[in-house]
Amino acid sequence: AKNRGRNRYCFYDSKLQAKVLARSALQSGLRQALSLQQFSLYFQPQYHSDGQMLGAEVLLRWFDPELGPVSPVEFIPLAEDSGLILPIGAWVLQQSCQQLADWQRDPVKTHWHLAVNLSVRQLHDPDFVKLVRDTLQQTGARPENLVLELTETQLLEDIEAVIAKMQQLGELGVRFSLDDFGTGYSSLSYLKRLPLNQLKIDGSFVRDLLDDPSDEAIIRTILALGNSLELAVIAEGVETEAQYQALCKLGCQQFQGYLLGRPAPVEQLTVTPQRPGL
């Protein structure tokens, strides 16, 4: 029995060790990824129900020659824990503003916005407001074309500090979208206090919209909330025509998802209207 006990212990131990090793391999890879230029940005288009492209969400990609492509779902939490999210996030912001400035010179794309995902670590960084101001200034990107996405759950910690920071950023003219909306536990009273411009309906509600009446009810509620608080509402994760039609019927006017366009390098964004007239 004693022996078996030890074996079991060894088994757990080696599994744990493998996990720790994988984590530290990712961690050290991540530390060099910026200087080795292993990051790139993908862009996923966002459309209005009139068919016009409004802009895109910026999605970070990491390709390490040994590890292959690593999902942001894996490496963003590591980057947050280690603090690497600050230099990485600054790079994403710089590239995104540069892209906005390029588009501004093209009459067809001049109004396109970019939605950049933020980690709350970035927001709490004392230099963040200055970073955003300087990056806008250096690149010449118009602040109103920059949308910062924060997730609902991120906001819950230290809400007063978050509100203050968002107000300072709002004064620069940048806009805010509340990502994964509906999955957290927002109290409606502070929603009113946040300088928000948009709510983003989480993809999980869109996924089961056609089969699950409670998901439809949640989407209805978010759309009504957007209406009464004068916030735009965008649905993410729209994969099928049926979901798109159902969302239109509920009054949703902005969409993002594989149906309309997958995340891709910037060259693949097209100005051709999608599903016009619906």
CB of 158 to ligand C2E, least distance (A): 17
The nearer residue to ligand C2E, 136 or 206, going by C-beta atoms, is 206
Cα–Cα distance list, 250 to 11, 235, 245, 246 (Å): 53, 11, 9, 6
E strand or H helix at 135, and its extent?
helix 128-139
Of 110 and 119, nearer to ligand C2E (C-beta) is 119
**Please, what is the minimum distance in Å from the beta carbon of residue 76 to Ca ion?**
11
CB of 278 to ligand C2E, least distance (A): 17
Q: How far is the CB of 60 from ligand C2E (least distance, A)?
A: 4
* Binding partner of residue 195 among ligand C2E, Ca ion, none, CB cut-off 5 to 8 Å per kind: none
CA distance 98 to 89: 14
CA distance 239 to 232: 21
* Residue whose CB is less far from ligand C2E, 35 or 71: 71
* DSSP structure class, residue 264: B
Among 86, 180, 194, 243, binds Ca ion (CB under 5 A): 180
Q: Which stretch binds Ca ion (CB under 5 A): 35-43, 70-78, 134-142, 179-187?
A: 179-187
Task: Specify whether the CB–CB gap between 211 and 183 falls below 8 A.
Answer: no
Query: Which of 29/112 has CB closer to Ca ion?
Result: 112
Q: What backbone torsions phi and psi does residue 48 show, to the nearest 5 degrees?
A: -90, 155
In sequence order, the 6+-apart residues with CB closer than 8 A to the CB of 10 are none
CB closer to ligand C2E, 226 vs 237: 237
Count of residues engaged in binding Ca ion, rule: CB under 5 A: 4
44 binds, among Ca ion, ligand C2E, none (CB under 5 to 8 A by kind): ligand C2E
* Nearest distance from C-beta of residue 76 to ligand C2E, angstroms: 5
For residue 211 the two structure tokens come to: 């089969």
The binder of 26, among Ca ion, ligand C2E, none, by C-beta within 5 to 8 A per type, is none
- Size of the chain, expressed as the number of residues it contains: 278
The two structure tokens encoding residue 163 = 């509100």
Identify which of residues 29 and 70 has a Cβ nearer to Ca ion in the complex: 70
Residues that bind ligand C2E (CB under 6 A): 44, 59-60, 71-73, 76, 92, 117-119, 179-180, 203, 237-239, 257-258, 263
SS3 at position 44 = strand
Rg (C-alpha) for the chain, rounded Å, is 21
* Residue 152 within binding range of Ca ion, rule CB under 5 A: no
> Does 179 interact with Ca ion (rule: CB under 5 A)?
yes
Q: Write out 100-127 in H/E/C secondary structure.
A: HHHHHCCCCCCCCEEEEECCHHHHHCCC
Q: Where are the beta strands (DSSP E) in the chain?
A: 39-48, 53-64, 68-70, 113-117, 146-151, 175-181, 198-201, 232-235, 254-255
Question: Which partner from the list ligand C2E, Ca ion, none does 60 bind, CB cut-off 5 to 8 Å by kind?
Answer: ligand C2E
- The option from Ca ion, ligand C2E, none interacting with 155 (CB < 5 to 8 A, set by class) reads none
Residues interacting with Ca ion, by CB under 5 A?
A: 117, 149, 179-180
